[in-house]
Structure 1
């Protein structure tokens, strides 16, 4: 009786790079937002930049990553707004906060009659 011995090199390997892009997106969709962001930042600095494609082409993954990155909670599942629109709204809101100037102030003049009434405790009618 002869025994056939297989080397590890003879075994078929399933490599991540050999999977279809849709499978990459599907696999990433099971990860928590932190791991999705870790994967995408790791891919940016490797020779496998094409692994970023599933993330950049999936509004769902981007929405999950950006929502979690902003420490926000997802909206209810009965929301019928498409993910791509929700992603754009989220990005618009983030940009609005970046444009917000906390050091801005404006002086407003209050007419004398209103000042006196508020100091005396009377109501303005």
Structure 2
């Protein structure tokens, strides 16, 4: 079996195929280079991760401090509210006793006068 002469590519066709492969390879390498420009090294990535962890740690510690301050303020507000309630109760007792005592004394005096005793 012999191969017909028209089945083999000519030199010009080989040149065009190689040129096309070369252009395709250049385009692929350009795309790869563009993608590699966006890649960072492990050292840079780890440094960025450490910086991020430090910032998160600082935010967490600041948040814990704010929680502590909030708890202290809430405790002070509760204590102040209890003191205000105690003061209001004492004031009510004072007002009631300042009105009830004279009325009670006057009632006792009226009762004594009605029995015929002199004060």
Q: Normalised by the size of structure 2, how large is the TM-score?
A: 0.27
Structure with greater helix percent: 2
More relative contact order in 1 or in 2 (CA 8 Å, sep 6+)?
A: 1
Q: Which of the two has higher C-alpha Rg?
A: 2
The TM-score with structure 1 as length reference comes to 0.26
